[in-house]
């Protein structure tokens, strides 16, 4: 019979902000980090709910004759940005996706991976990637129709979440969706077993479980975000911090 895990389950009734993910260590194993980035594509396609978010929230914002701009904050390996670009192309939506991440390793991986991805899809507008932060974009006066992030909030302490919320309010003209993990015993148990086939040689299992222990629960996010924001349930695996802005958008004229 298989041996049970002798380690006690962590206390998930409170957030554990002292945990550090292995991939956040600048000196971590580069090969394991790159395998982690590569396998995020499978993890996010299965657990993060972006296909439904695109169909229900992002695609309906498209206006004929005007590109819809999307900013992906903390874009990591760029898999969410590439997925959004692929779905939009399939649907005939003029979507312009920009991913930003201050981590040089993530930026390099995203640019390289996207170049190879784009070479196989010459008629598809690929996402662009920049090594910068939301705060720097705000300072530069940049805005986008939609601002998104995936699995970013749990990396941030409460003050940083508030800062991201403030940046998002200034950067987004129409919609913000911050998609993140939910801290719960069910999510912890299911992920600890379900990730095993993808985990070897990567940080997926260790960092995923640490991420769940760092994640916020809905009431915590509501308190941090304040008025005008909603926390919407996804599945056991994710929740979304959402703000909708009803600003009129006119089709662009002839160029």
pLDDT digits over 12-59, tens only?
999 999 999 999 999 999 999 999 999 988 888 888 889 999 999 999
Tokens (6 digits) for 21: 């993910």
**How does pLDDT run across 93-148, given as a tens digit for each residue?**
999 999 999 999 999 999 999 999 999 999 998 999 999 999 999 999 999 999 99
* DSSP string covering 190-235: HHHHHTGGG-TTSSHHHHHHHHHHHPPPHHHHHHHH-TT-EEEE-S
Quick check: 168 and 147 in contact, CB under 8 A?
A: yes
Q: What's the mean per-residue pLDDT of the chain?
A: 91
Mean pLDDT along residues 186-193:
91
Half-sphere exposure of 54 (CA within 13 A, CB side): 25
pLDDT of residue 2: 43
207-246 pLDDT, tens digit per residue, is 999 999 999 999 999 999 999 999 998 877 789 999 997 5
Segment 49-80, tens digit of pLDDT: 899 999 999 999 999 999 999 999 999 999 99
**pLDDT confidence of residue 255:** 31
Superfamily of domain 26-244: Vaccinia Virus protein VP39 (3.40.50.150)
Question: According to the model, what pLDDT value does residue 219 have?
Answer: 95
What pLDDT is recorded for position 249? 46
Look at strands 144-150 and 172-180 and give their pairing: parallel
With vertex at residue 58, the alpha carbon angle to CA 246 and CA 120, rounded to the nearest 5 degrees, is: 150
pLDDT at 4 over 90: no
pLDDT at 170 over 90: yes
Of the chain, the percentage scoring pLDDT greater than 90 comes to: 79
pLDDT of res. 7: 61
Other beta carbons less than 10 A from residue 31's beta carbon: 10
What DSSP line would sit under the chain, residue for residue? Answer: -PPPP-SPPP--SS--TT---GGGSTTS-HHHHHHHHHHHHHHHHHHS-HHHHIIIIIGGG-BTTBPEEEEEET-TTSHHHHHHHHHHHHHT--EEEEEE-S-HHHHHHHHHHHHHHHHT-TTS-PPEEES--HHHHHHTT--EEEEEEES-GGGS-HHHHHHHHHHHHHHEEEEEEEEE----HHHHHHHHHHTGGG-TTSSHHHHHHHHHHHPPPHHHHHHHH-TT-EEEE-SSS-EEEEEE-----PPP---
CB within 8 A of 63, min separation 6: which ones? 249, 250, 251
Cα 221 to Cα 243: distance, rounded to the nearest angstrom: 13
């Amino acid at each position: 019979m298989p041996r049970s895990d002798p380690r006690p389950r962590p206390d998930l009734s409170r957030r554990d902000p002292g945990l550090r993910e292995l991939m956040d260590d600048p000196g971590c194993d580069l090969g394991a980090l790159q395998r982690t980035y590569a396998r995020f594509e499978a993890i996010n396609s299965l657990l993060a709910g972006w296909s439904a978010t695109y169909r229900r929230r992002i695609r309906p914002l498209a206006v004929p004759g005007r590109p819809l701009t999307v900013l992906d904050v903390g874009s990591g390996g760029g898999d969410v940005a590439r997925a959004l670009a692929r779905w939009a192309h399939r649907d005939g939506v003029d979507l312009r996706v920009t991913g930003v991440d201050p981590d040089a390793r993530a930026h390099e991986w995203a640019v390289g991976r996207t170049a190879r991805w784009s070479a196989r899809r010459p008629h598809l507008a690929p996402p662009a990637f920049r090594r910068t932060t939301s705060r720097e974009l705000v300072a530069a006066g940049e805005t986008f129709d939609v601002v998104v992030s995936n699995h970013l909030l749990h990396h941030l302490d409460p003050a940083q979440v508030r800062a991201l919320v403030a940046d998002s309010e200034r950067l987004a003209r129409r919609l913000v969706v911050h998609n993140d993990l939910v801290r719960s015993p069910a999510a912890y148990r299911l992920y600890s077993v379900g990730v095993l086939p993808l985990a070897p040689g990567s940080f997926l299992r260790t960092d995923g479980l640490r991420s769940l222990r760092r994640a916020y629960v809905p009431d915590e996010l509501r308190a941090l975000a304040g008025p005008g924001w909603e926390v919407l349930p996804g599945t056991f695996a994710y929740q979304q911090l959402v703000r909708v802005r009803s600003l009129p958008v006119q089709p662009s004229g002839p160029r």
